[in-house]
Amino acid sequence: MAAAYDSPRAPSPADRVAAGRSDPDRVVLEGAHALKHALRFGADIEVVVTPDRDALLALLSDLAPDVVPRVADLAVPLELAAWRRVAPRELPSPALGLARRPRWSAAEVVAAPGRVLVLEAPRHLGNLGASVRVAAAADAGGVLVLGEADPWHPTAVRAAAGLQFALPVAQAQLLPATDRPVLGLDAAGRGLHDTGLPTEALLVVGTERKGLSAQVRDRLDGLVAIEMREGVSSLNLATAVAVALYAGRCAPG
């Protein structure tokens, strides 16, 4: 008689979310805001877990009633011990989602219609995510990150409130070839409030401390600047991105 074998147990929702943190094809969404925006912009969400389903749905009924039916279908309640295992730090709202990660190439991002934001070697994932959030709000065509920082890291996704799903976002080591104007943000440049940004420009922003690298400067067609009060040397990355993108939209360009 053939031996009987137990079929493998399907992973629990908590196990799936935990595994998703190290899965390059998945994105973990932390909090209701990230979940809300991901759903609004077409994310393929596989599961949502929460320690308090009723509280989550009540919160979303106030914040985003348009996504409540979908979250109600997806949300799985967890015992507190299981929740603490998948959410080791306190979250501002009781939700974790697991979504499939969109795959955009660097070439696709720089070809996206509209102004494209390029971040060179951002050092802080929170600022990176906040910059993605600004780019989405300003209706930028996409965001390309040069260097090692992952724009799809859960910290960046939380800081962006899930708005990576609203526009093409990718990571690359080098800026791909393009025939579009490539402009660097630098204090020595032309004032953005007067000149604006061409509609099809790539705006490259470096770090607060080092600015743009020599390698990137060799690719630039010009420099643009944020006019600032004398004696003020720099702005936080996300603040600079916000000023530059909105100044570029409002001025002729």
- For 251, the token pair is 């001025």
Q: Is 114 exposed, middle or buried (0-12, 13-18, 19+ CB in 10 A)?
A: middle
Write down the pLDDT at residue 64. 97
Determine how β-strand 182-191 pairs with β-strand 169-172.
unpaired
Rounded CA-CA distance 152/170 in Å is 8
190 in helix, strand or coil?
strand
Which pLDDT belongs to residue 24?
95
SS3 content of the chain, % helix, strand, coil (to 5): 40, 20, 40
What is the torsional sign of CA 135, 140, 146, 151? positive
Q: What is the pLDDT of residue 195?
A: 85
Q: How far is CA 21 from the centre of its chain?
A: 16
What pLDDT is attached to residue 144?
98
Cβ contact 107:134 at 8 Å = no
Tell the residue number behind the tokens 């050092």, with chain if given: 123
Q: Can you list the residues of the chain whose pLDDT is less than 70?
A: 1-8, 250-253
Q: Does the predicted model carry a pTM greater than 0.95?
A: no
- Predicted pLDDT of residue 197: 92
Assign 3-class secondary structure to 155-186. HHHHHCCCHHHHCCEEEECCCCCCCCCEEEEE
Where do runs of H (alpha helix) occur along the chain?
Answer: 13-20, 32-40, 53-63, 68-74, 80-86, 106-110, 125-137, 154-159, 192-195, 214-217, 237-250
Domains of the chain (ranges, CATH numbers): 13-100 (3.30.1330.30), 106-250 (3.40.1280.10)
